[in-house]
């Protein structure tokens, strides 16, 4: 049987001391790094470095950045890590045009706010003034920002069932159709209290009922594509779907002359 190699105790002692010294040095370095990290954190949180230095806002069209910052209550004296995100988001959502607000804090002192606004689907004319109507049905008392060019103008509507039906219908139609409407007049009849007349940007006029407005107007591009763009008239969507050209004044005068002759 082969005997194992014998190592003397004198040879092992220096190696053990060296290993212990290495472990002690590593422990010391770790403790020093931890100490300096804690000191750095304390200095950071107690110094202006942790105060809000930059606020970036994205998604806002109605309100300016300064208006939203003012509404949020954030100042450059606030510690970024003490900001109550939920409370600030709640403050911003108090603005009628704001659908949602999401706030994030980034190291070292940056605050970003993502805004989603309610869409303006129409403008209603009241006493010669325009008031925006949001997709949630709210009518703004004061017009903020520019009047959207592609939003239809509602005429002769008052708050009630007809206006509610109109807002529901506008929310349901495709954007391309919504953008093609210039004005919508509330023109009730004895046979249909929900009758409306639409004036389109392409020169056509549409006669429709609010009850079937969204369903039938969704097919408007297809209907118009089958008509001669040079001959304008009324597209009746009340019951079925048919077209009647506008009477030409010159043609009427000519017919009258022929009758007299």
Instruction: Find the mean pLDDT for residues 166-192.
Output: 94
Contact 39, 33 (CB under 8 A): no
Q: Within a domain: residue 37?
A: no
pLDDT digits (tens, 9 = 90+) for 76-98: 889 988 899 999 999 999 999 99
Q: Within a domain: residue 57?
A: yes
Domain CATH for 150: 3.40.50.10960
Q: What is the pTM of this model?
A: 0.71
Cα distance between residue 217 and residue 235, in whole Å: 11
Domain span holding position 219: 120-245
Q: Within a domain: residue 109?
A: yes
Domain CATH for 89: 3.10.20.310
**Strands 153-155 and 120-126, sheet pairing:** parallel
pLDDT digits (tens, 9 = 90+) for 130-155: 888 999 989 987 665 556 667 899 99
Where does the pLDDT of residue 39 fall: very low under 50, low under 70, confident under 90, or very high at 90 and above?
confident
Q: Within a domain: residue 28?
A: no
Are 158 and 237 contained in the same domain?
A: yes
pLDDT digits (tens, 9 = 90+) for 246-256: 986 544 433 33
Contact 157, 126 (CB under 8 A): no
Number of domains forming the structure of the chain: 2
């Amino acid at each position: 049987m082969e005997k194992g190699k014998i190592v003397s105790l004198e040879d092992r002692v220096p190696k053990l001391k060296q290993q212990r010294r290495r472990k002690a040095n590593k422990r010391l370095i770790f403790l020093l790094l931890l100490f300096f990290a804690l000191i750095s954190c304390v200095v950071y949180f107690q110094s202006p470095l942790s105060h809000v230095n930059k606020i970036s806002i994205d998604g806002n069209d109605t309100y300016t950045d300064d208006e939203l910052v003012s509404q949020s209550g954030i100042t450059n004296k606030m510690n970024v890590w003490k900001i109550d995100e939920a409370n600030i988001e709640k403050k911003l959502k108090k603005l009628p045009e704001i659908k949602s607000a999401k706030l994030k804090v980034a190291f070292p002192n940056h605050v970003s706010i993502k805004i989603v606004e309610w869409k303006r689907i129409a403008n209603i004319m009241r006493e010669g003034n325009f008031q925006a109507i949001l997709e949630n049905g709210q009518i703004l008392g004061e017009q903020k920002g520019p009047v959207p060019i592609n939003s239809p103008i509602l005429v002769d509507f008052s708050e009630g069932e007809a206006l509610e039906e109109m807002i529901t219908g506008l929310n349901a139609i495709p954007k391309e159709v919504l953008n093609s409407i210039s004005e919508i007049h509330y023109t009730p009849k004895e046979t249909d209290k929900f009758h409306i007349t639409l004036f389109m940007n392409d020169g056509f006029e549409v006669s429709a009922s609010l009850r079937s407005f969204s369903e039938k107007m969704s097919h408007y591009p297809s209907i118009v594509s089958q008509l001669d763009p040079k001959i304008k008239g009324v597209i009746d969507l009340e019951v079925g779907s048919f077209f009647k050209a506008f009477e030409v004044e010159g043609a009427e005068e000519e017919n009258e002359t022929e009758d007299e002759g």
